[in-house]
Structure 1
Amino acid sequence: MRTERTATPAPDTTIVVGYTPTPAGEAAVRAAVDEARLRGASLYVVNVSRGDAYVDRNLASRQHLNELQRLLAESGIQHRVVQEVGRGEPSEELLRAVEETNAALVVIGLRHRTPVGKLLLGSTAQQILLDAPCPVLGVKP
């Protein structure tokens, strides 16, 4: 399932930002807005869920998406918000968005995880850092 919300047409430079309704996700959006202002870029905001759980805290609710839209509209930055459910791993979907938009930058939120946690669950951030064809900005809340 894919949900899109679009503001005005985007300029030539695009920044992709991974959004989750968490402190790390909010920090990523704020940093992406700042970068978009500096670069005169548009934002392509991606919220992803594998769709394989009854409750996914990374999937933004309608309320979260409305708040995100309000923040982006107030920023005056051209943007598109896309929510993907059930298509694949979050890292794969973000990297797909980077390729589709020919992004100049990817912004992701980082959270602290133990080495064992990374080993057992993998690391979306690590996959993006290693495979992105453009610079990656990782921000902490």
Structure 2
Amino acid sequence: MTVVVGYVPTREGRAALAAGLAEASRRAARVVVVDNRRADPDDPDPEGTSARALDELRPQVESALGSGDDAPPYELRTLSPGSEPSEDLIAVATQAGASLVVIGLRRRTPVGKLILGSGAQRILFDAPCPVLAVKPPA
């Protein structure tokens, strides 16, 4: 079993990470956390920025999953340069044989609802497994 978490450094991303780690602990499942934000076109080293952001999460992930031989394994994956975040997350979930994908959703304005986050919609419809969509606490 594998839980794939789409992480972005926002309240929604932190909610997705917390929910994904909790699900992985409950299921004793492997966790793959994917830096799922869009790369900044002005960033000279998007992969390095992504790796540093995920390294900052490492203590939180290890704390949530526990330590020792019975702790579920985890992996932190940087964004794939040039790919659409939703496509990347779906590809990781497919490759990892995910049993669950966890994403964070943000509140949308009435106009924004007409266009639901196209990335979130794509993940909801195209993921190879169930998707848990969470929102941050109020």
* TM-score interval, smaller chain: 0.7 to 0.9
The 1:31–1:121 alpha-carbon spacing in structure 2 relative to 1, beyond 3 Å, is closer
Aligned to 1:72: 61
Residue pairs, 1:41-60, within 5 angstroms: 41-51=29-39, 53-54=41-42, 60=50
Residue 48 of structure 1, CA deviation:
3.1
The 1:121–1:87 alpha-carbon spacing in structure 2 relative to 1, beyond 3 Å, is farther
SS across alignment from 1:18:
strand
Residue 53 of structure 1, CA deviation:
2.5
Q: Which amino acid aligns with 2:96?
A: T
The 1:49–1:24 alpha-carbon spacing in structure 2 relative to 1, beyond 3 Å, is closer
Q: 1:107-130 deviations in whole A, cap 9, x for unaligned?
A: 000101235336568521111001
Residue pairs, 1:22-101, within 5 angstroms: 22-51=10-39, 53-54=41-42, 60=50, 62=52, 64-74=53-63, 75-76=65-66, 77-101=72-96
Greater helix content: 2
Q: 1:19-78 deviations in whole A, cap 9, x for unaligned?
A: 00101000101001110111110100101344353269xx7572x323310111122231
Q: Once structures 1 and 2 are overlaid, which stretch shifts more, 73-82 or 115-124?
A: 115-124
Cα separation, 1, equivalents of 2:116 and 2:124: 16
Q: Which amino acid aligns with 1:137?
A: L
% identical equivalent positions: 48
- Kept in 2: contact 1:18–1:45 (CA 8 A): yes
Unaligned runs of 5+ in 1: 1-12
- Kept in 1: contact 2:8–2:37 (CA 8 A): no
Cα separation, 1, equivalents of 2:34 and 2:85: 9
SS across alignment from 2:101:
strand
Does residue 16 of structure 2 align to residue 16 of structure 1?
no
The 1:52–1:121 alpha-carbon spacing in structure 2 relative to 1, beyond 3 Å, is farther
Alignment RMSD: 2.3
- State the number of aligned residues: 126
Q: Which amino acid aligns with 2:2?
A: T
Using the size of structure 2 for normalisation, the TM-score is: 0.79
Unaligned runs of 5+ in 2: 67-71
